[in-house]
Amino acid sequence: METWDLYDDQRQLTGRLRNRDSTTPWPMEHFHLVAKIALFSDNGSLLIQQRTSTKSGWPNYWDLSAGGSVLAGETS
């Protein structure tokens, strides 16, 4: 199970944790870190992908090619 550290809007750790599959509402004043990788070709083209229509968050939206949530205890 993925566990994330929660941060405030100043990117300061709050000391609270959140599990990915938690069903409790997301606290609006808390955030978690996400790391992304952007791939560019020699001519400056950006590689992107379209998210699957069955994805629970942001289905069918365009996204960078790689990335994910930073786990508790890790840094970006």
Model pTM? 0.70
Mean pLDDT of 55-65: 88
Q: What is the pLDDT of residue 62?
A: 93
Beta bridge partners of 48: 64
CA distance 16 to 28: 13
Encoded tokens for 44? 């400056």
Give me the percent of the chain exceeding a pLDDT of 90: 67
Query: Which DSSP helix (H) or strand (E) runs through 58?
Result: none
Q: Are 4 and 20 in contact (CB under 8 A)?
A: yes
- Name the residue type at position 14: T
